[in-house]
Amino acid sequence: MVQHPIEVILMRQLASYLATPIFLLDHAGTMVYFNLPAEAILGLRFDETGEMSLDEWGTAFKPTSREGTPIAADELPLLEVVDHRRPAQGSFWIRGLDGVSRHIAVAAFPLIGQSGRDVGSVAVCWEDQAG
């Protein structure tokens, strides 16, 4: 098992207590955790997937525009943070692994550790009923 920086461990602990869907990535873009409210949006449990590589999670949920046009993985807010280390936000449709399409809004930000080192990324997400 990989030992993550303390900031990632603490962020995971915090996310586990929140009712807001949270996704947590390490510095390489591997999804190291998503909490119970995020499980409802994705249509699967973290216990079922465990950590997911960037290639796995970036394409698993098939993000699309309102019109159904596929959105490239590198245009997703969380990948913008991984690539450019600056906050990003957006909204789009995803099809969860339970087969349900959901319109979600996402705000993502880099997780910067002590001495300014890059330790990961965080996305706060919610289902947008107005979408």
Closest CA to 5 of 128, 99, 105, 110: 110
How is domain 6-127 classified at the architecture level of CATH? 2-Layer Sandwich (3.30)
Taking the model in full, what pTM does it have? Answer: 0.89
Residue 54: pLDDT band with limits 50, 70, 90: confident
Mean pLDDT of 121-130: 88
Closest CA to 54 of 81, 93, 36: 81
Mean pLDDT of 11-28: 96
Domain ranges of the chain: 6-127
Contact by Cβ (8 Å): 108, 88: yes
